[in-house]
Amino acid sequence: MTSLAPTPSQTVGPFYGYALPLPKGGDIAPEGDPRAVAVHGYVYDGAGQPVPDALIEVFQADPEGDAAGAPGSLRREPTTGRLNGRDGLTWTGFGRIATDPDGHWVVRTLPPGAVGEGRQPYLAVVVFARGLLHHLHTRVYLADQVEAAADPLLSSLEPARAETLLAKPERPGVYRFDIRLQQGEDGAEETVFLDFAQH
Amino acid sequence: MTQQPRPLTQADIDREIAEESAAYAKRIADGEPVAHHPDRGYAPYRSSVLRHPKRPLVAVKGDPELIELHTPVFGETDVSPFDADLTRQHLGEPLGERITVSGRLLDRHGRPIRGQLIEIWQANASGRYAHQRDDHDAPLDPNFSGVGRVLTDDQGGYKFTTIKPGAYPWRNHLNAWRPAHIHFSLFGDAFTQRLVTQMYFPNDPLFAYDPIFQSVIDPSAKGRLIATYHHDDSVPEFSLGYRWDIVLDGPGATPFEAEDADDEEQNK
């Protein structure tokens, strides 16, 4: 069977801000849905400094565990080419957010459903940034909505490492999830990043 | 009083690049597999130093139920007819050398990845991005934004008309210049195939000096970042033609493809 060598990864660089982010890019939940929650946090580098030029992408199942989102995340106006953003009604399951000057990001979404029997629900996340030559995969589990012991990934990690994948309830409907690209000098735990390579 | 550190020179970076290449050659000689992708920590690229995980990544075994083996979908509502021609997005003609960039988006088995969104962004002909924070002292072009997108066709094909971007300085070290490049963002048949990369132009004299390009150490892998000039793709009296095929990594996405693979296994 043919096996082609892959095209190598390169950094997203600092100057994607006029190209990739989109209006309402973090609003995955349809407008007005009473189930909507916010997941937010900061991205930090190894010195504990916020990363103001990171790009976060989220892909997730809907609350019923259906992973087949519709197109329309990056809607364009066909007559002018202007980026429209979302229509506010369609569930696409995809979000894209650039961190702000303080390294902060937020998505407004619906709690995901588990995909498959005996699975725990989560948001799949990739992180891009200036200085990051190859993006990083991680996951956000909503801490009060998962049975960590029942999840194959969470249960395989040391408890302190598994903690880095849990978004903590901050107040009703709001979860906090910080991403640490590297273990900081303050001893804070580096986020668990995932490798999907199959050999 | 602490002494001001001497600014990093190109010679410092050249030495580090040579050390990284020698270390890689030794690893290959010792039997390690070819590295297709750069390491996330590549010291000559200073921005990577504090931004790469120090702990090993946690391996997740392939499983068709995982959300990462599905993919976001994009369709006709996500693109507009103007998006693939970056020279037609404003009232006037942008300045610079017009080029046509085309190629195919494939998976590792050489199968086309159809209907997928390809996004590009780039500097203008003088090496300036239409980005607020790009303070390179080169002119902005009011007729060029440098953003394009297209959906791949049934053969996985894509095509953009644009302007050849210029080289530009950056502050990794004294006299740091980036070779001309176009940024590409690609989805795939699975979220695990997601790729952001850069396409370079053949015979660029800046390759040897650029720690971002050099972060891909394997010579054949480096070669896959460089487009080829195709005279037949050049449009008479209009543009020069470059071709660049893109191969996405990652496991096959669907059980259907797994069955395909089994069939081929049996037919061997």
DSSP assignment string, A14-51: S--TTTS--TTTTB-SPTT-TT-EEEEEEEE-TTS-B-
What mean pLDDT comes out for the span B206-217?
A: 98
**Cβ-defined contact of B49 to A46 (cutoff 8 Å):** yes
Express as a percent the part of chain B with pLDDT over 70.
91
pLDDT at B16: 98
Residue B32 near residue B152 (C-beta atoms within 8 A): no
Neighbouring C-alpha atoms within 13 Å toward the C-beta of B245: 15
pLDDT at B268: 32
pLDDT at B98: 98
Residue A1: pLDDT over 70:
no
Give me the sign of the Cα torsion angle A111, A113, A118, A123: negative
pLDDT at B258: 40
Q: Does B225 touch chain A (CB under 8 A)?
A: yes
Express as a percent the part of chain A with pLDDT over 70.
95
Residue B259 tokens read as 């069955």
Q: How far apart, in whole angstroms, are the C-alpha atoms of residue B10 and residue B224?
A: 25
Q: How far apart, in whole angstroms, are the C-alpha atoms of residue A9 and residue A106?
A: 26
Residues 132-171 of B with CB under 8 A from A: 132-134, 145-147, 149
Q: How far apart, in whole angstroms, are the C-alpha atoms of residue B160 and residue A69?
A: 27
Residue B254: pLDDT over 80:
no
pLDDT at A188: 63
Residue A55: pLDDT over 70:
yes
Residue A71 near residue A113 (C-beta atoms within 8 A): no
pLDDT at B267: 36
Give the catalytic positions of B in this structure: 129, 168, 178, 181, 183
- ipTM > 0.90? yes
Residue in A closest to B50 by C-alpha:
A46
pLDDT at B135: 86
pLDDT at B132: 82
Taking contacts as CB-CB distances below 8 angstroms, the residues of chain B near A14 are 131, 133
More confident of the two residues A91 and B134? A91
For B169, residues 6+ apart whose C-beta sits below 8 A from its C-beta are B127, B136, B175, B176, B177, B178
Return the SS3 of B168.
strand
Confidence of residue B257 (pLDDT cuts 50, 70, 90): very low
Confidence of residue A174 (pLDDT cuts 50, 70, 90): very high
The torsion of the CA quartet A94, A95, A96, A97, rounded to 10 degrees, works out to -170
Give me the sign of the Cα torsion angle B123, B124, B127, B129: negative
Confidence of residue B211 (pLDDT cuts 50, 70, 90): very high
Taking contacts as CB-CB distances below 8 angstroms, the residues of chain B near A80 are 80, 82
For A158, residues 6+ apart whose C-beta sits below 8 A from its C-beta are none
Residue A199: pLDDT over 70:
no
Strand partners for B182: B122, B199
Q: Count Cβ atoms below 10 Å from residue B33 Cβ, excluding itself.
A: 9
Question: Mean of the per-residue pLDDT values for chain B?
Answer: 91
Burial class (CB in 10 A: 0-12, 13-18, 19+), B65: middle
Amino acid at B125: A
Confidence of residue A183 (pLDDT cuts 50, 70, 90): confident
Taking contacts as CB-CB distances below 8 angstroms, the residues of chain A near B47 are 11, 130-131
Q: How far is B112 from chain A (nearest CA, A)?
A: 12
What mean pLDDT comes out for the span A141-148?
A: 95
Residue B253: pLDDT over 70:
no
Q: Does A112 touch chain B (CB under 8 A)?
A: yes
Q: DSSP state, A80?
A: T
Cβ contacts from A onto B, under 8 A: 260
Return the SS3 of A137.
strand
Residue in A closest to B36 by C-alpha:
A8
pLDDT at B134: 86
Q: Does A143 touch chain B (CB under 8 A)?
A: no
Residue B259: pLDDT over 80:
no
Residue B153: pLDDT over 70:
yes
Residues 67-96 of A with CB under 8 A from B: 67-82, 92-94
**Cβ-defined contact of A6 to B42 (cutoff 8 Å):** no
Q: Does A49 touch chain B (CB under 8 A)?
A: yes
**Cβ-defined contact of A80 to B82 (cutoff 8 Å):** yes
Confidence of residue B263 (pLDDT cuts 50, 70, 90): very low
What mean pLDDT comes out for the span B217-225?
A: 98
Residue B50 tokens read as 């504090």
What mean pLDDT comes out for the span B153-164?
A: 98
Residue B217: pLDDT over 50:
yes
Largest CA distance in chain A: 53
Q: DSSP state, B207?
A: G
More confident of the two residues A45 and B62? A45
pLDDT at A79: 83
Give me the sign of the Cα torsion angle B214, B145, A6, A73: positive
Question: Mean of the per-residue pLDDT values for chain A?
Answer: 93
pLDDT at B47: 96
Least confident of A106-115, B125-134, B244-253: B244-253
pLDDT at A78: 84
Residue A166: pLDDT over 60:
yes
Closest partner residue to B224 (CB to CB) among A7, A94, A195 is A7
Q: How far apart, in whole angstroms, are the C-alpha atoms of residue A34 and residue B91?
A: 44
**Which long-range contacts (C-beta less than 8 Å, at least 24 apart) are formed by B223-227?**
B224/A5, B224/A6, B224/A7, B224/A8, B225/A7, B225/A8, B225/A10, B225/B197, B225/B198, B225/B199, B225/B200, B226/B199, B226/B200, B226/B201, B226/B202, B227/B101, B227/B103, B227/B199, B227/B200, B227/B201, B227/B202
- Do the bridges between strand B98-107 and strand B240-243 make them parallel or antiparallel, or are there none, so unpaired? parallel
Nearest one of A126, A13, A16, A112 to A64, comparing CA atoms? A112
Residue A22 tokens read as 């989109």
- Ramachandran angles phi, psi of A188, nearest 5°: -60, 150
Closest partner residue to A76 (CB to CB) among B50, B79, B133 is B79
Tell me the per-residue pLDDT of B49-97, one tens digit each, with 9 for 90 and over: 999 999 999 999 767 678 999 999 999 999 998 899 999 999 999 999 9
Closest partner residue to B57 (CB to CB) among A82, A116, A195 is A195
Residue B252: pLDDT over 60:
no
Vertex B255, ends B250 and B257: CA angle to 5°? 65
Q: How far apart, in whole angstroms, are the C-alpha atoms of residue A24 and residue A98?
A: 11
pLDDT at B260: 41
More confident of the two residues A117 and A158? A158
What mean pLDDT comes out for the span B101-115?
A: 96
